[in-house]
């Protein structure tokens, strides 16, 4: 108690004098090591690039407090607790739904804003009014993938591989399955857990089903093992993945098996339109200068950048770093010109209204995955689709 | 014995009936599918057999469940990975790898010659050192060379583990040894995390062996890879070499004698410490070979902290199922486990109405283990060890 | 000051829960010589059984019986004991290593079942909102922890006293006799298998009790809480404290848990964030090294087993046992 009073007194004294320059602290909770390390670092680079573009707000420098959750729920909780101790204004991250959900409850209870970068499980933002995201949700992602598989690829039987101990993968696979069945297709669900290396039994299960499309809702850590094993076992139909495949680990570790692999992901400069396209391209140029050695510029990079941008914008709108004021301006954010399209939180549960999802294809020439590239085929807007 | 045959033949008949049922009544699979599953099972079983051999040899001689063995298997796979993926090496690295491997060569020669001062041992070490330094710094290392080098280095690692952790406790209660083995296992896993990597690692050396192989059977196609020849053959070759070593050489005979009765063997002039070191050397070399073939088979290595655990304890279960302490038992147990995991899940496939057994296949080894312990504690071919010593 | 105090309460609760488990293991290993390396599995059974029996109704998996906490705890102990019976019957007649491999296997099986049987356990998400005792009183966070501490401490004392009485009874002496010389014990007409099975089942039930308390304290359970490292920690506690001595098990639990959390927070505060990831691995290596040192220098642990000298030998006075 005395400590608090004492601190408050000091704060008052200092505030009156020269310390208008005290930095505004923002927590960053990311999967920087462990299974999602590559997408974690893409996201971090996105956040850092955005910070370089906009390093001050209200005349005060922004300081990032970076915490590695090691791709474990416990680690994510520990990061959340650290940020509660540090009294940050808001927390950016985590990337995956499992880690985001693990941190969200603690942050919500402590009254700290959290903006997940790429968590797409609908449950994440439903945890409370302090939880936001910059991504779209999986009900949308699963739906467009199922529609694409059914209508464009003319597939009627889909084998779905899902990582059943992950909230994102589990939820997304369910949405894909529901939509695909609704359209009149048949599905089979094949489960595996993190760190699986031997997929032979799942592949055997899939074989009898004779699928004409394979939907993979997991991450690259396992995907880079699964997809080559599928190819080896004579599965030559189209493979379809989701935003977790937007990770250089897939083509570099998986090699030639990823040639022609299609996936849905966060729309980049190629599929955005109008002013949003220009902003994304400018950001890409800036990013290439800031991180000349980066292996990826992908949806995770953009999501990271925009999570930072919207939080800083909300602080700017609030005119203070007071938590309640920032929360209010963030919840009322309308048509913020982000690098991943315009972002509106007003009237939502924390999921932005208009997002663009894109279909990408990996091109992997030769056996070695080093020379991979990805092309984006077309984009879809969530706002247009929901109308 | 007739009961064993009756049960065995009964099980085979059941399997055949189930195949018939799945193919002709359910029409869920065709016969070619089961041929493919059988080949897969043989591949997986060979890998388990290679690991199980190391467990059974060590257990046979010092009655220790070497929990670190699964992690030795992991180290072997990762060493080979670094050997082929980073070559050709700059001179200092080539020197380090060559020195480690040359040490392994000297170790092996020493077991035969009996002294490190022996000219053949020194000569072998020098030749290996020079040759390997040149080879590693000049050319790329293919997977086979990487496997052989990794076997040498991992073999020595096994001996070092014995020397550092187990030998000081030889007179101590057996349980101290077991706990030390568990601690050693955690040590290797966490050192692997620190030194190797924290992530799943692709294991795709440029080789023809991993290419797809598809051939028609019963009017349908069997999908497999050329590894179906490599893995069982390599396993058979290693098992034959091991059997020849154990039955034909002096050291091998000393090994068997020590396994039967270490005290008498010692009295007869057998250097038991050396025999134990040999056991660790051979077991670890086989585990390293298993690790490399494992990597080729799945195209990927799991992260070091988990890679060795499950294959390790399953392989030990396989050794117990086959009959602990018996070399043929380990091979039979390993192959049986491969079939149990792969073929049995194939017999009960996942359909839209039935969840299948795939998600529980990691539990099969332990369920079978409990059954075997209940019905025939000595294992399928083992001598009777049911009595508590 | 209150922060430190509440942290201390938090620390003690966790340490005492582990102490219970270590007491159960001590009965098995210290007094009977049973090498159980599936501690995490029995802990898991206790946790999940408690969650199912006393937890709220879950939308997607089993639960909602809403039984009182005490019933949940007893159920957890019974379930862990039952599993122990299933594992014990085939293995306890055999050499001790077979028990080792069977228990490590069963722990792995149980973890996989917890992960895969979603309808039963809630899968990887686990079971949430598991109640604490006296929840109806609406205590604050600190008071609730204090009450919990008192409860756990009381249970530790109870289990400790019960075990002390038991191991000093004729039953306990038979256990030790079997541990030391099975043939001698069986030639005196004691069936070693029966006594081993009793000890094993009882020990596992105590582990189940620890699991139930842990689930209640933490409030949720998930399969990742029951990795083999938990078994290793409990073993480290017993070996460091001194197996064959219940006070040793208690001391070891507090010390090792203090060492574990201490090195953890030192790593958190001292290491740069890039290295913190590796801190976890270093921690395990460090505790392994401590364990090896203790095994080599002081194989009986800090407080080893008391010497039991028969009255006749004492009277005879030649000092040998």
Compute the distance between CA of residue B252 and CA of residue B250 in angstroms, rounded to an integer: 5
Say yes or no: A161 and A115 in one domain.
no
User: Kind and range of the H or E element at A214?
Assistant: strand A213-216
Q: Which fold has domain C9-316?
A: ABC transporter involved in vitamin B12 uptake, BtuC (1.10.3470)
Co-location of A128 and A150 in the same domain: no
B6-12 LR contacts (CB < 8 Å, sep 24+):
none
Query: Do B366 and B350 contact (CB within 8 A), yes or no?
Result: no
Residues of chain C neighbouring B317 (CB-CB closer than 8 A): 101, 105
**Burial class of residue C238 in the structure, from the number of CB atoms within 10 Å of its CB (0-12 exposed, 13-18 middle, 19+ buried):** buried
Does residue A1 lie within any of the structural domains?
no
Q: Pairing state of beta strands A213-216 and A238-241?
A: parallel
Domain residue ranges of chain C, discontinuous segments joined by +:
9-316
Across the interface, whether the CB atoms of C124 and A164 are under 8 A apart is answered: yes
A211 and A251 housed in the same domain:
yes
Average pLDDT for residues C2-19, to the nearest whole number? 86
All residues of chain B having their beta carbon less than 8 Å from the beta carbon of residue C277 are 198
Residue B125: phi, psi to the nearest 5? Answer: -60, -45
Q: Is A366 helix (H, G, I), strand (E, B) or coil?
A: coil
| Chain A contact for B328 (CB, 8 A cutoff) | no
Q: What is the CATH number of the domain that holds A44?
A: 3.40.50.2300
Please state whether B9 falls in left (phi above 0), alpha (psi between -120 and 50) or beta. alpha
How many domains is chain A partitioned into structurally?
Answer: 2
Taking residues B342-347, report their average pLDDT: 90
Token pair, residue C8, equals: 């201390």
The tokens for B242 are 């091991």
Distance between CA atoms of C116 and A194, rounded to whole angstroms?
12
In this model, does residue B257 exceed pLDDT 50? yes
| Predicted-complex ipTM score | 0.85
A235 in the same domain as A151: yes
- Examine the domain organization and report whether A367 and A345 are in the same domain: no
pLDDT for C317 = 46
Q: What is the pLDDT of residues B3-51, one digit of tens each?
A: 778 888 998 999 999 998 888 888 878 888 899 899 999 999 999 999 9
* Closest CB to A205 among B210, B307, B349: B349
Kindly state whether residue A3 falls inside one of the protein's structural domains: no
- C-alpha A223/C-alpha B358 separation (Å) is 18
User: Residue C237 in 3-state DSSP?
Assistant: helix
Helix, strand, coil tally for chain A in percent (to 5): 50, 20, 30
Chain B partners of C97 at a C-beta cutoff of 8 Å?
A: 59, 63, 65, 178
In a domain, A5, yes or no: no
**Residue B176 is encoded by which pair of tokens?**
């101290």
The full length of chain C comes to 321
pLDDT band at C71 (very low <50, low <70, confident <90, very high): very high
Alpha helix (H) residue ranges in chain A: 2-16, 37-53, 73-86, 97-110, 138-147, 167-182, 200-209, 220-232, 249-254, 274-290, 299-318, 323-331, 382-386
Residue C279 neighbours by CB distance under 10 Å: 16
Contact A142, A172 (CB under 8 A): yes
Q: From the CB of residue B251, how many other CB atoms can be counted at a distance below 10 Å?
A: 18
Q: pLDDT per residue over C209-245, tens digit each?
A: 999 999 998 888 888 888 888 898 898 899 888 888 8
A8 in a domain, yes or no? no
Residue C314 confidence (pLDDT) above 60: no
CB contact under 8 A, C277 and A74: no
Kindly indicate the confidence band of residue B387, based on its pLDDT and cuts at 50, 70 and 90: very low
Helix/strand/coil percentages in chain C, nearest 5: 75, 0, 25
Q: Which of B25-39, C37-51, C179-193 has the highest mean pLDDT?
A: C37-51
Residues A147 and A263 in one domain: yes
Provide the residue count of chain A: 387
pLDDT for position B231 = 94
Q: Domain range for residue A363?
A: 139-269+358-386
Interface of A with C in 84-123 (CB under 8 A): 98
Identify the weakest region by mean pLDDT among A165-174, B68-77, C81-90, C97-106: C97-106
Q: Does one domain contain both A366 and A344?
A: no
What is the least distance, in Å, from the CA of C277 to any CA of chain A?
A: 7
**Which of A164, A167, A196, A202 should be substituted to probe chain C, the one whose Cβ sees the most C Cβ atoms within 10 Å?**
A164
| Strand extents, DSSP E, chain C | none
Q: What is the pLDDT of residue B171?
A: 78
- Mean per-residue pLDDT, C2-16: 84
Which residue matches tokens 């190391």?
B54
CA distances from B109 to A45, A247, B116, B146, C22 (A): 53, 48, 9, 20, 47
Tell me how close the Cα of A83 comes to any Cα of chain B, in angstroms: 25
Segment (H or E) for C253: helix C246-270
pLDDT in tens, A268-316: 888 888 888 899 999 999 999 999 888 788 889 999 999 999 999 999 9
Q: How confident is the model at residue A330 (pLDDT cuts 50, 70, 90)?
A: very high
Q: Which residues in chain A touch residue B223, judged by CB atoms under 8 angstroms apart?
A: 232-234
What pLDDT was estimated at residue B197? Answer: 83
Q: Is the same domain home to A258 and A299? A: no
Angle at B97 between CA B96 and CA B102, to 5 degrees: 100
Flag if C116 and A191 touch (Cβ within 8 Å): yes
**Residues A194 and A296 placed together within one structural domain of the fold:** no
Which residues, 6+ apart, have CB-to-CB distance to C236 below 8 Å? C252, C256, C287, C290, C291
CATH class for domain B41-87+140-375? mainly alpha
Among residues C25, C153, C38, which one has the least CA distance to residue C91?
A: C38
For B193, residues 6+ apart whose C-beta sits below 8 A from its C-beta are: B303, B304, B305, C278, C281
- A214 is a domain residue: yes
């Amino acid at each position: 108690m005395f400590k608090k009073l004492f601190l408050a007194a000091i704060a008052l004294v200092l505030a009156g004098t020269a310390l208008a320059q005290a930095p505004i602290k923002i927590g960053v909770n990311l999967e920087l090591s462990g299974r999602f390390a590559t997408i974690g670092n893409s996201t971090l680079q996105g956040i850092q690039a955005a910070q370089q573009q906009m390093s001050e707000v209200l005349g005060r420098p922004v300081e990032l407090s970076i915490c590695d959750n090691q791709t474990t729920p416990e680690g994510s909780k520990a990061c959340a607790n650290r940020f509660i101790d540090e009294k940050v204004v808001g927390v950016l991250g985590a990337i995956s739904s499992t880690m985001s959900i693990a941190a969200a409850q603690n942050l919500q209870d402590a009254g700290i804003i959290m903006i997940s970068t790429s968590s797409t499980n609908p449950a994440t933002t439903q945890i409370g009014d302090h939880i936001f995201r910059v991504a779209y949700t999986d009900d949308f992602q699963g739906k467009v993938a199922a529609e694409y598989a059914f209508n464009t690829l003319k597939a009627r039987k889909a084998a779905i591989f899902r990582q059943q101990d992950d909230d994102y993968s589990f939820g997304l696979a369910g949405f894909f399955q529901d939509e695909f069945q609704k359209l009149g297709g048949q599905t089979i669900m094949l489960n595996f857990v993190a760190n699986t290396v031997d997929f032979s039994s799942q592949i055997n299960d899939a074989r009898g089903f004779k699928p004409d499309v394979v939907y993979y809702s997991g991450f690259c850590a396992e995907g880079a093992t699964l997809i080559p094993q599928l190819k080896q076992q004579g599965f030559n139909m189209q493979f379809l993945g989701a935003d977790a495949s937007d990770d250089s680990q897939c083509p570099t570790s998986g090699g030639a098996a990823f040639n022609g692999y299609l996936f849905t992901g966060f729309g980049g400069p190629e599929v955005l339109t109008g002013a949003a396209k220009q902003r994304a391209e400018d950001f890409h140029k800036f990013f290439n200068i800031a991180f000349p050695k980066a292996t990826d510029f992908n949806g995770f990079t953009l999501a990271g950048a925009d999570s930072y941008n919207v939080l800083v914008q909300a602080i700017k709108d609030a005119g203070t770093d007071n938590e309640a004021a920032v929360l209010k301006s963030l919840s009322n954010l309308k048509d913020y010109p982000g690098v991943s399209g315009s972002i509106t939180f007003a009237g939502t549960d924390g999921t932005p209204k208009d997002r663009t999802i894109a279909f990408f294809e990996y091109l992997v020439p030769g056996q070695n995955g080093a020379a991979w590239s990805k092309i984006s085929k077309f984009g879809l807007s969530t706002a247009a689709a929901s109308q | 014995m007739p009961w064993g045959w009756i049960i065995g033949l009964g099980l085979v008949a059941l399997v055949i009936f189930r195949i018939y049922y799945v193919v002709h009544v359910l029409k869920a699979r065709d016969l070619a599918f089961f041929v493919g599953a059988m080949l897969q099972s043989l591949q997986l079983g060979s890998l388990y057999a290679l690991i199980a051999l190391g467990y059974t040899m060590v257990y046979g001689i010092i009655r220790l469940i070497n929990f670190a063995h699964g992690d030795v298997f992991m180290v072997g796979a990762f060493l080979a990975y670094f050997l082929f993926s980073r070559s050709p090496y700059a001179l200092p690295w080539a020197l380090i790898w060559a020195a480690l491997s040359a040490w392994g060569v000297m170790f092996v020669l020493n077991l035969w010659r009996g002294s490190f001062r022996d000219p053949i041992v020194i000569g072998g070490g020098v030749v290996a050192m020079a040759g390997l330094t040149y080879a590693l710094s000049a050319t790329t290392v293919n997977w086979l060379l990487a496997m052989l080098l990794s076997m040498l280095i991992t073999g020595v690692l096994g001996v070092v583990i014995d020397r550092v952790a187990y030998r000081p406790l030889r007179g101590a209660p057996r349980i101290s040894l077991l706990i030390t083995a568990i601690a050693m296992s955690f040590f290797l896993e966490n050192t692997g995390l620190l030194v190797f990597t924290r992530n799943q690692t692709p294991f795709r050396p440029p080789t023809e062996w991993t290419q797809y192989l598809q051939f028609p059977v019963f009017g349908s196609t069997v999908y497999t890879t050329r590894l179906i020849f490599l893995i069982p053959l390599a396993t058979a070759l290693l098992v034959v070499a091991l059997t020849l070593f154990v039955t034909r050489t002096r050291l091998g005979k000393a090994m068997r004698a020590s396994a039967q009765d270490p005290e008498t063997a010692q009295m007869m002039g057998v250097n038991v410490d050396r025999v134990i070191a040999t056991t660790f050397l051979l077991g670890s070399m086989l585990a390293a070979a298993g690790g490399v073939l494992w990597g080729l088979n799945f195209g990927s290595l799991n992260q070091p902290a988990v890679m060795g655990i499950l294959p390790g304890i399953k392989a030990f279960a396989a050794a117990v199922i086959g009959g602990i302490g018996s070399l043929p038992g380990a091979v039979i147990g390993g192959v049986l486990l491969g079939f149990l995991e792969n073929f049995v899940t194939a017999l009960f496939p996942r359909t839209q109405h039935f969840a299948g057994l795939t998600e529980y296949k990691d539990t099969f080894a332990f369920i079978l283990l409990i059954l075997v312990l209940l019905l025939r504690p000595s294992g399928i071919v083992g001598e009777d060890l049911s009595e508590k010593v | 000051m209150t922060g430190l105090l509440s942290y201390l309460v938090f620390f003690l609760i966790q340490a005492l829960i582990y102490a219970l488990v270590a007491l159960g293991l001590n009965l098995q290993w210290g007094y009977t010589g049973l090498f159980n390396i599936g501690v995490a599995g029995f802990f898991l059974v206790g946790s999940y059984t408690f969650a199912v029996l006393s937890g709220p109704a879950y939308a997607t998996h089993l639960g909602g019986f809403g039984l009182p906490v005490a019933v949940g705890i007893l159920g957890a102990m019974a379930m862990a004991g039952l599993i122990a019976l299933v594992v014990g019957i085939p293995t306890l007649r055999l050499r001790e290593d077979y028990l080792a491999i069977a228990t490590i296997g069963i722990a792995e099986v149980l973890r996989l079942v917890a992960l895969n049987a979603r309808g039963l356990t809630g899968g990887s998400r686990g079971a949430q909102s598991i109640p604490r005792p006296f929840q109806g009183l609406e205590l604050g966070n600190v008071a609730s922890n204090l009450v919990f501490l008192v409860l756990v401490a009381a249970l530790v004392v109870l289990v400790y006293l019960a075990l002390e009485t038991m191991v000093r009874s004729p039953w306990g002496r038979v256990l030790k006799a079997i541990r030391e010389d099975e043939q001698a014990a069986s030639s005196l007409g004691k069936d070693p298998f029966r006594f081993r099975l009793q000890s094993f089942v009882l020990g596992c039930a105590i582990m189940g009790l620890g699991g139930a308390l842990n689930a209640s304290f933490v409030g949720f359970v998930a399969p990742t809480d029951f990795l083999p490292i938990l078994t290793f920690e409990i073993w480290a506690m017993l070996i460091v404290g001194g197996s064959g001595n219940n006070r040793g098990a208690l001391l070891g639990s507090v010390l090792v848990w203090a060492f574990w959390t201490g090195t953890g927070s030192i790593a958190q505060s001292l290491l740069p964030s890039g290295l913190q990831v590796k801190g976890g691995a270093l921690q395990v290596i460090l505790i392994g090294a401590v364990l090896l040192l203790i095994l080599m220098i002081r194989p009986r642990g800090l407080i080893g087993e008391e010497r039991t000298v028969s009255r006749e030998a004492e009277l005879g006075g030649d000092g040998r046992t």
